[in-house]
Amino acid sequence: ILADRSLPSHTAALEEHGAGGRGLRGRTLHQLPARLRPDELSPGAVRKALLHADTRTAAGPDGIDGSLLRAAAASPTFVAAVATLMQFAFAFGALPQGWRDANLVAIPKKSGALNECGAYRPISVTSLLARTLEALVQPLLRTALDRRLTRWQAGFRARRSTRQQMLLLQQRIAE
C-alpha cells in the first residue's frame, strides 16, 4: 500500500494540478496550510486510531487486519507514512487504489430461502486503513456541514430527530 505507484508524489501532484489553483504550486505536503493538514490527521491521532483498530472485523482486499495495524502502530516510521498518506488524501482528494478497492460479500437476510438471490444483502469490505481515515475525517466533515445547514435540517444529524421536526411543524401550524 505504501509503495502504490498509481499515487503521485505530493510534490508532483502540486506541480501538476496546482492544488486547485490556490497558489500552492511547488510546495510539499508539509508546507500546505494548516486547514489542509488538520490535527485529526496528525501522526499522534493516526497512531491512536491504529492502536484502537478493531481486531474482530474482516480485513479488506489488502489483507491487513486490525491486529497487524495495532502492532504496526508501534513503529514511528509506519505511523508517519500512514499519516502522510492520509493528509495527502484529505488535502487533494486522492486515495491509493488499494484504499478504494473493496471485497463484495453476500450476507444472508433474516428471512428468505438461502437458495434465492433476494435472500442476501451485499456489503463492501474496504481496507482497514481506509476505514481508519474515514473515522478520522468524519468529525471534520460533520463540523463543516453543520455550519452550512440550516437549524431546521434534522436528517442524519446528532441530537435531532423526526419527532422534534414534527413537533416544530405542529407548533408552526397551531400559530
pLDDT tens track for 79-124: 999 999 998 888 888 888 999 999 999 999 987 788 888 889 999 9
Q: Which residue has the higher pLDDT, 33 or 67?
A: 67
User: In what helix (H) or strand (E) does residue 126 lie, and over which residues does it extend?
Assistant: strand 120-126
- Among 14-23, 68-77, 110-119, the minimum mean pLDDT is found in 14-23
Between CA 10 and CA 15, with CA 11 as vertex, the angle to 5 degrees is: 115
Residue 105 pairs in a beta bridge with 123
What's the Cα-to-Cα distance from 166 to each of 66, 115, 121, 161, 172, rounded to whole Å?
A: 42, 43, 32, 9, 10
What's the Cα-to-Cα distance from 60 to each of 66, 96, 98, rounded to whole Å?
A: 10, 14, 9
Its pTM stands at 0.69
pLDDT of residue 44: 93
